[in-house]
């Protein structure tokens, strides 16, 4: 389909990731190669910046600056939590039209895909020539169509490295260690902690995700059982875990901007589980960490696979829109074990609804993942550093006294 001469506008929405700027830079650098692209604008603060016309002219950014930005985590163009409705999208559309924007790229999750869908429909209704591409991004890995989401692999790698370290620490000073991970509805990130296991007794020993309800009784029985066997226990739990009635286990009356119970940025769930374990099992050393924003923002922990794919979904967005005249959502397809290619899904197929972990990734016991999940996730995190235990024979005792317990 022939496409118009005009400007490109790109923006970033929702929570940042370690590689979201790779997608930004991929789209910008590819877009700048097309002569029919007169300018490449970036909107600051996502859709809110579009309405405010807070644009920077990325045509004038140097390649080196952009390549350095690509290596920088979090949204280089800044972000927003605004979820546009139809009226908001009409305002967006007016601004796009006023600035002769003919290609609009929005990097984000399912809400951002929905914004793209509405803006695209608006342009069709108005007969204005506009291509709209949703570029996927989320550490939650909960988008439809795509095999997995850019941003997830790096967050999963952070989680795996955190658990490898926590497990070594807990072996040195044993006890129960509970780590609370991001994931309101989808347990992918929490489940990725399973990549921390090398030796058979490595943690995490128990993994709880929002897809499987848990009860206090089951949790305590599970932990007591592991502790009896190993003298220690590492637990990975999603912030969004709920009981069989669907009630969140976290106690909090804080609501976020969308009226949801605030889960991130508080240690409430970890502390609650910790006090349950202390009271319910009699185990003395119980510690809980909430990994918090580090999961998506920590500098210096990036999956090289995730980095490459985040770059390519951005590059593909430019080609789909400008070369091929298409609108849609870029999705990743898995080929063998492991390569990836890219397809363009209809915006409506990705918008709004999120996905949870499929059943065959979760162990029937409700406290672990399956080998199928490990096979799915391993190639996405790239190379993990290895750890080693001392291999040396025991020495025969001479005095055979026992230390006072």
**Binding flag, residue 395, a second copy (CB under 8 A):** yes
Tokens found for residue 238: 């999603």
Strands (E), 101-211: 101-108, 131-136, 176-181, 206-208
Catalytic-labelled residue, pool 111, 114, 140, 306? 140
Tokens found for residue 387: 């750890």
Binding residue for a second copy, selected from 3, 22, 79, 115, defined by CB under 8 A = 79
For the four alpha carbons of 66, 55, 73 and 157, in that order, the dihedral sign comes to: negative
Q: Which helix (H) or strand (E) covers residue 223, if one does?
A: helix 216-230
Decide whether 132 or 160 has the Cβ nearer to a second copy. Answer: 160
Residue 128 burial (CB < 10 Å; 0-12/13-18/19+)? middle
Q: Assess contact for 147 and 333: CB atoms under 8 A.
A: yes
Whether the bond into 204 is cis, omega within 30 of 0: yes
Write down the least CB distance from residue 20 to a second copy, Å. 9
Decide whether 337 or 386 has the Cβ nearer to a second copy. Answer: 386
Q: How many other C-beta atoms can be found within 10 angstroms of the C-beta atom of residue 278?
A: 14
Number of residues this chain uses to bind a second copy (CB under 8 A) = 95
Decide whether 170 or 327 has the Cβ nearer to a second copy. Answer: 170
**Binding flag, residue 258, a second copy (CB under 8 A):** no
Decide whether 52 or 365 has the Cβ nearer to a second copy. Answer: 52
CA distances from 348 to 61, 133, 143, 335 (A): 33, 12, 12, 24
Bridge partner residues of 329 (DSSP): 134, 345
**Binding flag, residue 12, a second copy (CB under 8 A):** yes
Tokens found for residue 21: 């700027």
Q: Report d(CA 204, CA 286) in Å as an integer.
A: 15
Q: Please give the full DSSP string across 151-170, using - where no structure is assigned.
A: THHHHHHHHHHHHHHHHHHH
Stretch that binds a second copy, among 144-152, 257-265, 343-351, 364-372 (CB under 8 A): 257-265
Decide whether 162 or 318 has the Cβ nearer to a second copy. Answer: 162
Stretch that binds a second copy, among 60-68, 114-122, 344-352, 356-364 (CB under 8 A): 60-68
**Binding flag, residue 71, a second copy (CB under 8 A):** yes
Write down the least CB distance from residue 227 to a second copy, Å. 16
Q: Report d(CA 20, CA 150) in Å as an integer.
A: 8
Whether 140 is catalytic: yes
Q: Assess contact for 145 and 349: CB atoms under 8 A.
A: yes
Q: Within a 13 Å sphere around the CA of 193, how many CA atoms are in the beta-carbon half?
A: 31
**Binding flag, residue 2, a second copy (CB under 8 A):** no
Write down the least CB distance from residue 172 to a second copy, Å. 4
**Binding flag, residue 198, a second copy (CB under 8 A):** no
**Binding flag, residue 94, a second copy (CB under 8 A):** yes
Q: Binding to a second copy (CB under 8 A): which residues in 297-326? A: 297-301
Decide whether 50 or 357 has the Cβ nearer to a second copy. Answer: 50
Q: Binding to a second copy (CB under 8 A): which residues in 174-193? A: 177
Binding residue for a second copy, selected from 5, 38, 52, 215, defined by CB under 8 A = 52
Write down the least CB distance from residue 282 to a second copy, Å. 14
Binding residue for a second copy, selected from 220, 271, 374, 379, defined by CB under 8 A = 271
Q: Binding to a second copy (CB under 8 A): which residues in 139-168? A: 161-162, 164-166, 168
Backbone dihedral angles phi then psi of residue 132, each to the nearest 5 degrees? -125, 125
Decide whether 109 or 328 has the Cβ nearer to a second copy. Answer: 109
Residues catalogued as catalytic = 140
């Amino acid at each position: 389909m022939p496409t118009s001469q005009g400007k490109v506008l790109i923006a970033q929405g929702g929570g940042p990731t370690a590689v979201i700027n790779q997608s930004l830079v991929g789209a910008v650098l590819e877009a700048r190669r097309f002569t029919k692209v007169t300018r490449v604008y970036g909107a600051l603060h996502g859709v809110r910046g579009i309405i405010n016309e807070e644009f920077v002219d990325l045509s004038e950014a140097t390649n080196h600056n952009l390549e350095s930005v690509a290596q920088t985590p979090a949204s280089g163009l800044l972000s927003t939590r605004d979820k546009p409705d139809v009226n908001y999208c009409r305002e967006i559309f007016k601004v796009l039209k006023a600035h002769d924007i003919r290609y609009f790229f929005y990097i984000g999750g399912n809400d951002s895909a929905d914004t793209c869908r509405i803006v695209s429909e608006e342009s069709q209704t108005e007969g204005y020539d506009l291509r709209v591409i949703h570029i996927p991004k989320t550490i939650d890995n909960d988008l439809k169509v795509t095999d997995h989401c850019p941003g997830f692999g790096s967050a999963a790698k952070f989680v795996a490295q955190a658990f490898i370290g926590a497990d070594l620490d807990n072996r040195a000073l044993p006890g129960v260690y509970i780590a609370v991970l991001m994931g309101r509805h989808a347990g992918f990130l929490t489940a990725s902690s399973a990549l921390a296991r090398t030796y058979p007794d490595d943690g995490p020993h128990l993994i709880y995700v929002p897809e499987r309800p848990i009860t206090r009784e089951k949790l305590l029985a599970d932990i007591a059982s592991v502790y009896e066997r190993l003298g220690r226990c590492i637990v990975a739990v999603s912030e969004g875990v709920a009981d069989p009635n669907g009630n969140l286990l976290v106690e909090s009356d804080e609501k976020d901007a969308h009226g949801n119970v605030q889960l991130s940025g508080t240690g409430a769930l970890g502390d609650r589980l910790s006090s349950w374990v202390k009271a319910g099992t009699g185990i003395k050393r119980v510690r809980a960490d909430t990994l918090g924003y580090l999961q998506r923002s920590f500098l210096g922990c990036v999956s090289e696979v995730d980095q490459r794919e985040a770059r390519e979904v951005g590059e593909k967005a430019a080609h789909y829109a400008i070369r091929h005249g298409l609108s849609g959502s870029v999705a990743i397809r898995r080929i063998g074990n492991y390569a990836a290619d890219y397809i363009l899904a209809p915006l409506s197929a990705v918008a709004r609804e999120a996905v949870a972990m499929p059943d065959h990734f979760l162990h029937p016991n409700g406290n672990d993942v399956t080998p199928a999940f490990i096979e799915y996730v391993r190639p996405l995190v790239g190379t993990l550093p290895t750890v080693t235990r001392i291999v040396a024979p025991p020495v025969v005792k001479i005095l055979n006294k026992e230390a006072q317990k």
